[in-house]
Amino acid sequence: MSDIHTRFSTHPTSGAERITAIYTDQSDLSTKQITRSYDYALDPRDNHLKVAEELDYKIYGDLSVIVNTNGDTDTFNEYILGIGEETKSGRGYKFYYYRRNNL
């Protein structure tokens, strides 16, 4: 299992702001990604989390669950996508998968 990385970007001509979430499968190095428009009603971290959640659901459906910021979950799925740290560039986040029984 891999991690989901997100990044903030601005379109060079239109100036549109977007968030891209990328997942690389470690078993075959295939990638999946989605890009969504920046939601100005949310703060930066929640924008990244929203896109990471959407990609997570696209890949695993109901097999994993996002841990909210206080660490609570309300389902008992095998994997949890935990909130990771901000990237060194300050333009993205890394979200980690954890096995529920390893927490």
How far is it, in rounded angstroms, from Cα 95 to Cα 98?
A: 10
How far is it, in rounded angstroms, from Cα 41 to Cα 56?
A: 22
Percent of the chain with pLDDT over 90: 26
| Average predicted confidence (pLDDT) for the chain | 78
* Mean pLDDT, residues 62-89: 59
Q: Is 87 helix (H, G, I), strand (E, B) or coil?
A: coil
10 Å Cβ neighbour count for 55?
Answer: 22
The larger pLDDT score, comparing residue 103 to residue 80, is at: 80
Q: For residue 95, what pLDDT is reported?
A: 80
pTM of the model: 0.72
Tens digit of each residue's pLDDT (9 = 90 or more) over 3-48: 888 999 998 899 999 999 999 887 888 899 999 999 999 988 889 9
